Amino acid sequence: MPPPGIRRANVDDLPALRSLWLAAKLPADELEIRLTEFQVAGSGETFAGAIGMQIIRQHLRLHSEDYLDYSVADAARELFLERSQKLAANHGVFRIWTQETSPYWRRWGFQPADAETLARLPDEWKDFEGRWLTLELKNEDTINAALQSHSIGFTDAGKKQAAQAAERARQLKLAITITGFAIFFICVAIAVYLLRHRPSFP
């Protein structure tokens, strides 16, 4: 078979996908509802296999991988991994997870998730049985610390601006008050002057 290409699954792929899922004893009815998660490998109109890519918040899961023609499996996996990384970049994903058992994923950097890493696994996936492999794309702690520091900087700047605005308002209020008293005393002085120097009539 020629080297495969990959594309997003569509409704025309459902018969081949359902056949694949049923043969692999996967929940075909559930996966059919999530058709848009799947990427399909093949050449032209030939269907060779598929894999699901589910995104939850900052996490992406590769799942339900299977092939009709395993001679193209590793070539397809390389393309699937590239596609998953592009999706991850577009959705701000920090980490890719999978329970797929092919040695391919280990060769491309996936590592068994230890207890500390598993604590980051989304709650929606914690009931899935099997061993998890994971690939860190971005250091979540570093990014969160940077965001928090940036947020604190914004908060401090905002407080400083608010204090400066309050000081300007206080100075303006003081200036208005002084000007008001000055006008008042000038008016009193004018009134006293006019009273003292008003012309007297015989």
Q: What is the CATH number of domain 5-138?
A: 3.40.630.30
Task: Give the pLDDT confidence of 110-120 residue by residue, as tens digits.
Answer: 999 999 999 99
Task: Give the pLDDT confidence of 151-195 residue by residue, as tens digits.
Answer: 555 566 677 888 888 888 888 888 888 888 788 888 878 877 777
Angstrom distances, CA of residue 170 to CA of 25, 108, 201: 75, 64, 51
Task: Give the pLDDT confidence of 7-65 residue by residue, as tens digits.
Answer: 999 999 999 999 999 999 999 999 999 999 999 998 777 889 999 999 999 999 999 99
Higher pLDDT, 33 or 138: 33
Answer yes or no: is pLDDT of 97 > 80.
yes
Pairing between strand 95-98 and 59-67? parallel
Beta strands in the chain (DSSP E): 5-8, 38-43, 46-56, 59-67, 95-98, 111-112, 133-136
Angstrom distances, CA of residue 97 to CA of 58, 63, 76: 11, 9, 18
Angstrom distances, CA of residue 174 to CA of 139, 166, 171, 190: 53, 12, 5, 24
CB of 33 closer than 8 Å to CB of 64: no
Q: Is the pTM higher than 0.75?
A: no
